[in-house]
Amino acid sequence: QKEVEQDPGPLSVPEGAIVSLNCTYSNSAFQYFMWYRQYSRKGPELLMYTYSSGNKEDGRFTAQVDKSSKYISLFIRDSQPSDSATYLCAMISGNTGKLIFGQGTTLQVKP
Amino acid sequence: DTGVSQDPRHKITKRGQNVTFRCDPISEHNRLYWYRQTLGQGPEFLTYFQNEAQLEKSRLLSDRFSAERPKGSFSTLEIQRTEQGDSAMYLCASSGDGLSYEQYFGPGTRLTVT
């Protein structure tokens, strides 16, 4: 079993929809949680970073962490075609800061 | 541009050849990471430097792989006797000191071994 599970999709939604992306994890030692966006053949781009249970909002993006359920989510409001990308959840393991990634979910927002 | 840079962006090599990649992190960042990403998968951790010290290596990093960060600035990743299974995107990331573990990635080097 992988430490971080993420449904690879693909997920296709119409423009303007609310998108929900999710990851589950098995290691209760994970304390820091990140979401990255990756366009095709590009490096991952940091979207959100959080370390506590609850919600964190940044513009159209909301990151949600539930440590008791070992479950994190990323919500995208008013989705745009430019949001079409692969979304990767990642968690910090140990005190070196190395990231453990999910497989990534491919999102397509149709105009 | 003050982001993480990597060179080359693409490398095609024949099996058995050696290749070397370079990463220039964000200038004030003392933590540097290498990851490898294959198609349809998330990046996998390879190794970590704090300044010039290599503090962690993954089991994925076989003895054909070596990484250096000689002066605590740029880093190189060398793969000796490349195999077709080494074909992947090699990503470099950096982060600052302290409690912030936010990592910023470079554009990656795409390696194809023929």
Three-state SS across A19-42?
A: EEEEEEECCCCCCCEEEEEECCCC
Name residues whose C-beta falls within 8 Å of residue A59's C-beta, 6 or more positions apart in sequence: none
For residue A23 the two structure tokens come to 């990851």
Lowest mean pLDDT among A8-17, B66-75, B81-90, B93-102: B93-102
Of A41, A49, A103, the CB nearest to B41: A103
Tell me the residue type at B66.
S
**Chain B residues touching residue A41 (CB < 8 angstroms):** 89, 108, 110
Q: Are B65 and B77 in contact (CB under 8 A)?
A: yes
- Tens digits of per-residue pLDDT, A43-62? 999 999 888 888 999 999 99
Of B55, B106, B110, the CB nearest to A96: B55
Longest distance between any two alpha carbons in chain A, whole Å: 43
Q: Are A88 and A104 in contact (CB under 8 A)?
A: yes
Which neighbouring-strand residues pair with B4? none
Alpha-carbon distance A46 to A89, whole Å?
Answer: 10
- Tens digits of per-residue pLDDT, A73-83? 999 999 999 99
Cβ pairs bridging A and B (under 8 Å) = 65
